[in-house]
Chains A and B, each alone.
Chain A
């Protein structure tokens, strides 16, 4: 690999690719990033604000281990690329504009918060939770409950709930406004959504449902002072967190001639419409998404996997991208959540998909299966850890729901001495089935 490989973005996708290539002995790797000099775990930003971790601890690989590889890093913003000249132009943090040529270019620029065109967005104290800089903004506008007694968070996804947990940890009175009728019911079946909702309310989060932001009003200093909702509510606040999702960060490619949709369109080998340009991570959009998976999946592990796959491809072993059975996990305050396979929310649930829900005070599961064939489709767990490989295997091999219920304990991954609920789950299933 003597080619000159240039990677734009040092998030999990770009950094994984760079490291893997370096391990395989690639001679020339250049890693460009505007945001930070070293790769950090974006998913853990919340822990810095809450004081669980230091900023340095966010870096998954020590700087020592990075520096042993000949990876050239440039802290700069890429302005545009020109595929016909195999060249890109960038602006360094000092403001100099420069050009860089490549043999292979990889776009791994991730996402950015999706803000809609609400009125008053320019007020001080309006922010998303995505970049390192958002953390600094948050420290500036919401350092404590004296400076910021009240906050409003718009949008109830995984980042929104994290932001709520962060603000509440500093005793800031927090209101979360969501469009759905139950928390995250765009992704969770209603019984699960209600279960999570009960938990987040127990953490003193003020939840407003089925409403949306209309405008943000600022005080005489230009600082956010209140918001107005579509249903006419006015809520005073000193901070507005906007967590209404993310979208691919690809504006700089508009003039490049690359085929774009919401993201950069790529084939199963992660190649774009230009044969020497690839895209990985949140900004990549698969032309032909795999069954039960989305074309754009802004989650940690897909970015990592794409980086790993592309490193293989570059070293001559052509592998198509296949992330397998869908899975993910999150934590809502103290409630751990894992999901494997397909457990559709109410709005997307086909007639054929049957759900079985079981819960106690602090634990819940929902298993989904095909009504007629009784084939196991997926599972959501709350407060219960399951073995990823085994559950994925069950889904891949299409075993029946009955077999999963019987064998659920095999997938037990909770710490030793934890209460096991598999008998109750089985019992409840047999009664309802």
Chain B
């Protein structure tokens, strides 16, 4: 047997963390026994476990790459432990999304914390938010210790921890306390990742809340149309995907041990391009449909009517596609050109469908149904159950790579209109393969590096790990 095994101190802390989870679950069932202390005890044990594991793993070790034994450990090489963790995580997501009643006891455990923050009783989403934030903070600390030699890695981890705790967690809770009717709004969650931003109840919520609500709505629209393209032009999609985003935040911290599991095959790359762009079309059409239907119901209430809305969307869309074809046609491979034309035609066709039928139906299906199907299949099943539940099997960025429509938009911007690229350093590459192996997005980085070509890929989230693990200093992220 090899000797890359968990040390006894690491085991003690692993069990401590698991005991914390057990306390939460147990307290959920026998609430009377644990009520006041269960939450504190559970969360403290979890924190002690992760922090203790971190220090027992990295304290006193010289700064450098810590990948010894990755392919020998069960958890990180799709062994039995990985499958157990995967099944448990998946089960948790299934319960969370579809059977929250089983979490009732645990949810009540979080009431004091929730009441302290927003004044409201806890919901399953509050519990999830707390655990999610805690995971990013704790595993973020672990990540920082692991990559202590790299400022780039440290800074972007401080950043995701900050955006998760402040923007995703605290601000919405505090906003709810100040103004109970305002929709729950994580300012950094941008449409189309935040696919429910333009749902009718949300729009009502924004519009009925005066200038603050309207300001938030305008900020939401500007985020997608103005802020995002500018930042992506300057920095690449990494400003969002590996510095700000919550999904990315979890993937980079709790998901870091699984980055080597991403599929690097050409087949996976082809699948990725089709899936992510079709999902983008799906969320685009359903959002347009939902807003159109909202405007149809109250045609004269807003500055924009249903038809002028459709026309502006159609014009804006054509403008973007036209710009791509006009300015960047030479950058696109043959299959990319035909895909753009095919997909754009479908979109225009569907927009026309709305316009001429004067209904919000797409092929006789009402858009709210398309939207709720999206919420079910993509928002819940894909991003949660598969995206996170399958970390130990498919890698930590499955959602970001195959599913996230936000990543799709940022990817198009990055590939076609951005200063971001990964430069390769002359002839120093020895084709060792570390860069490709540890690319969480499944990019075959080596295939570029060994041909001395810069890497400009839509999917690259700019985590910078390829550059870290390169033993010859070949790769450099630039923007």
Contacts and interface: CB of A to CB of B under 8 A. Distances in A.
Contacts of A417: 151-152, 155
A419 B149 CA distance: 11
Interface in A35-70: 41, 43-44, 47, 50-54, 57-62, 64
Contacts of A57: 433, 436-437
Interface string B462-479: 001001110111001110
Contact of B2 (A51, A59, A301, A385): A51
A329 B266 CA distance: 30
Contacts of B72: 51
A231 interface: no
A18 to B, nearest CB: 15
Nearest to A390: B426
B interface, over-half SS: loop
Contacts of B437: 52-54, 57
A415 B464 contact: yes
B416 to A, nearest CB: 23
Contacts of B70: 51-52
A305 B72 CA distance: 35
A51 B71 contact: yes
A224 to B, nearest CB: 20
B32 interface: no
Interface residues on chain B, size class? 35 or more
Given A52-B68, A52-B70, A413-B476, A388 B426 contact: yes
Contacts of A59: 433
A415 B477 contact: yes
A357 interface: no
A144 B2 contact: yes
Contact of A385 (B1, B63, B69, B425): B425
A interface, over-half SS: loop
Contacts of A146: 3
Contacts of A53: 71, 432-434, 437
B372 interface: no
Interface residues of A, number: 51
Interface in A146-202: 146, 169-171, 202
B11 to A, nearest CB: 17
Interface stretch (A127-135, A237-245, A333-341): A333-341
Nearest to A59: B433
A300 interface: yes
A327 interface: yes
Nearest to A43: B430
A329 B476 CA distance: 16
Contacts of B433: 41, 44, 47, 53, 57-60
A111 to B, nearest CB: 15
B369 interface: no
Contacts of B478: 416
Contact of A301 (B152, B427, B446): B427
B22 interface: no
A414 B151 CA distance: 11
A387 interface: yes
A51 B68 contact: yes
A259 to B, nearest CB: 29
A52 B64 CA distance: 13
A255 interface: no
7 contacts: A51-B67, A51-B72, A57-B437, A336-B471, A415-B468, A415-B476, A416-B477
